[in-house]
A and B are shown apart, each in its own frame.
Chain A
Amino acid sequence: MRFQDYDCETFYDEWMAAPGKPRPEASLLVRMLESLPAGELQRRQLAAERAFLVMGITFAVYGHRDGAEKVWPFDLLPRLVIMDEWERIDRGLRQRIQTLNLFLNDIYHTQRIVRDGIIPEEVIRTAKSFRPECIGLRPPAGIWAHITGTDLVRDRDGKMYVLEDNLRCPSGVSYVLENRQVMKRTFPQVFQASRVLPVDDYPSRLLDTLQFVAPMSARNPRVAVLTPGVFNSAYFEHSFLARQMGVELVEGRDLHVDGGRVFMRTTRGLERVDVIYRRIDDDFLDPRVFRPDSMLGVPGLMKAYMEGKVTLVNAPGTGVADDKVVYAYVPKMIKYYLGEEPILPNVPTYLCWEKKDLDYILGHLDELVVKAANESGGYGMLIGPHSTKEQQGEFADKIKAAPRNYIAQPTLGLSRVPTLVDGKLEGRHVDLRPYILYGREIYVQPGGLTRVALKKGSLVVNSSQGGGSKDTWVLPAPPPQAVDGLDVRTPITMGAQ
């Protein structure tokens, strides 16, 4: 496996400072890979894929007939982040999550930020994910978004930007934990020598967070994870987290509201639930309040929540801070609520509903990325440089018809990480989603999920659109250049645990 021919092109490469010149944090891995016998890396890659299949770490593919599951593609070569940079990311994320929670609390109460003219009233009123049902709500400890997965990207200039705040039901953290298990087994010596910061305590921290926000009346709070069921694409993660926390995994039909309290139907009758980590969208939570046709939710759940009998995590209504137009105002929010400068910048964002921006957007559709304000998963998106004239025309019409529903950003040259492609190493674009928990304190999981666009040249990293994942190593310092007694060629046998 040679790095000689590895081409960084015009992008920022997370491993290589220049062709043939690894960054200090990557040099141990580069040396290890270069010393592997031909075919060895592919062999380990296959073993890792087999391990995922046997462990059943799969996601359901929508639109396929029942039982269709895929292993989410995983690439063995990790993304590396050195501690100095990580500390800044960590501080930036804390600042951001604190701000967003202050914003949510404000927006469902006095709307000070609107009255002070920082955010136009219209932006809030027209956000699809704003829930008037939540006005006046006081969630325990004043926390609305307990679990966040913020998407970060690095542009050509090497600078990190916040691309999206995912405040609804961000998924993927189970892959962080499982990828790490597989990596430890695949590259044990290098892993150990690198002193990678651990991610494994996420489930116990998650449980702490959930129990911390239980209703005051619950002495020994009982937690449950609420899933839409086995056919949901993230079902594996739901069951994984429930298992890791040792709590019940429930579906809507397992829950029952009686006398204002929420119960699970068990073999011994009804048992109370105090905290629900819900992995279903607001819309489906409670057919009495939101979509009446929802079969996934629990009638009466919202009432029990509003009365403080049960805690929902994240709180309903947090999606408003996820709206891509609201996103554009986050830097202003940080200044407004905390009086601080944003540590992590936003990607510059043009708002279609502002006349000046709109004209610019329509004139530059071939350069910009256009996103629907309220979509996720890579759906409803136009990537200008990769689009046809017809697609641009289509989007121009859509934008003009509903300017509030779209935003545009410059097309970033996302940074790349070496990736194993057909037996060779090639750069592939990545983003980074660290997970943040907000309970008694704020916890930022060191690293997070690195998603990688496996198609050559593609910038879309979503699992539904041909993306895969990588482990993310936060390194306290660049690892030593060599490791005593390290025979990096030792084959490692892998299989199910």
Chain B
Amino acid sequence: MLSRSADAIYWIGRYMERAESIARFIDVNLNLALDLPPGTQEQWKPLVGTTGDLYRFLERFDTTTRETVIEFLAFDVDNANSIYSCLRGARENARAVRDVISSDMWEHLNATYLQVSDEGARGRARHSSYQFFSEVKLAGRTFEGLTDDTMSHGESWNFCRLGRMLERSDKIARILDLKHFLSNGKTSSGALDDIEWSAVLQSASALELYRKRHGRLIKERIVEFLLLDREFPRSVHFCLVGAEEALHEITGTAIGTFRIPAEQRLGQLRSELAFARAEEILEQGLHETIDAIQLKLNLAGDAITNAFFIAAPLYSA
């Protein structure tokens, strides 16, 4: 397929996942707000810290309140990672590859964009926050379903999946990291700790599955579940397996081997997690480990860009 189209569809996958993930981040706090003991202050600053955009946020807003943070994360036109900007990015890319994606995907994406850019959207996000961000999440899920269901599972689908899975790995790691920001490095009291952990798990659609597997909320098991689990479909490891599958279907190289740097980097990271133990990760520091994972994900992303999108090959196949 055209390099330009591959680039566009990879970014559709990433942007749609990113928009959904931001709704999930916000969801953590909405969940927390519901469960916190009366008198406890809502904490919105950690949320911005998790996204990695705190510096940009502070340039534009003086206080970290529910209003300013939701404005910044959901609607801010000047924040390239706001839900609005992600949907706009996805839609612009989709427009550029209308011939590659299905009409169902396009219409759903367009409708979602229209919904969030609608004049009434801010009001809904304020008054029925929980419902509004649930709708954004659901729109993301629906888009994934439509992608899997109405596109043939060839090269372009794999580029979309690759983008989605890399983005999801990154964002699940960040959701886990949110706990670090929430506790501000300190250990929270038992009850609050449990509330924070369940909010984190819930935002990753992981709470019920975790309970089934491990029952009680234990830090080691939660880290293991979100980073390393083989079956939980949003664990970082699980997403990397999906990303690797997509990449190898594109290149035709057997999994477990590599020909290009993108395959090597992704494979290294995936096997690192495959052989890791939660206890060791916590010993080395969870926040530090997550930082390292994100760095490696970025390197894999760069390698993918170089292999398929930028280096327009000047030789004939």
Contacts and interface: CB of A to CB of B under 8 A. Distances in A.
A266 B316 contact: no
B95 A230 contact: yes
Contacts of A63: none
Contacts of A243: 98-99, 103
Contacts, number: 83
B316 A254 contact: no
Contact of A266 (B1, B88, B95): B1
B155 interface: yes
B99 A56 contact: no
B96 interface: yes
A86 to B, nearest CB: 31
B3 interface: yes
Contacts of B92: 67, 230
Interface residues of A, number: 34
Size range of the chain B interface in the assembly:
20 to 34
A310 interface: no
Contacts of A270: 313-317
A263 B312 CA distance: 12
A212 B4 CA distance: 28
Main secondary structure of the interface of B (DSSP, over half): helix
Interface in B90-106: 92, 95-99, 103, 106
Contact of B313 (A242, A249, A269): A269
A497 interface: yes
A267 B99 CA distance: 17
20 contacts: A54-B107, A54-B110, A54-B114, A55-B103, A55-B107, A56-B95, A235-B95, A236-B98, A242-B98, A243-B98, A254-B4, A258-B316, A266-B2, A266-B6, A267-B159, A268-B313, A269-B313, A270-B315, A270-B317, A496-B107
Which of B96, B98, B159 has the most A CB atoms < 10 Å from its CB? B98
B276 interface: no
Nearest to B94: A56
Interface string A246-258: 0111110110101
6 nearest interchain CB pairs? A269-B317, A239-B98, A242-B99, A249-B99, A265-B312, A243-B99
A54 B3 contact: no
A265 B2 CA distance: 6
A267 B250 contact: yes
A56 B3 contact: no
Contacts of B4: 251, 253-254, 265
A326 to B, nearest CB: 35
B111 interface: yes
Interface in B1-18: 1-4, 6
Given A56-B107, A248-B99, A496-B111, 5 more contacts: A242-B99, A243-B99, A264-B2, A267-B2, A270-B315
B2 A254 contact: yes
Interface in B299-317: 308, 312-317
Which of A243, A256, A266, A270 has the most B CB atoms < 10 Å from its CB? A266
A55 B99 CA distance: 14
Contact of B107 (A230, A254, A497): A497
Nearest to B6: A267
B111 A266 contact: no
A249 B98 contact: yes
Given A56-B106, A243-B98, A497-B103, A267 B155 contact: yes
Nearest to A265: B312
B78 to A, nearest CB: 14
A470 to B, nearest CB: 23
Interface in B143-157: 155
A256 B114 contact: no
Interface in B237-275: 250
A321 B200 CA distance: 68
Nearest to B311: A265
Contacts of B3: 254, 265-267
Nearest to A271: B317
Which of A249, A251, A258 has the most B CB atoms < 10 Å from its CB? A249
Contacts of B107: 54-56, 496-497
A430 B313 CA distance: 50
Interface string A226-238: 0001100001100
A74 interface: no
A375 B55 CA distance: 52
B108 to A, nearest CB: 8
A55 B109 CA distance: 10
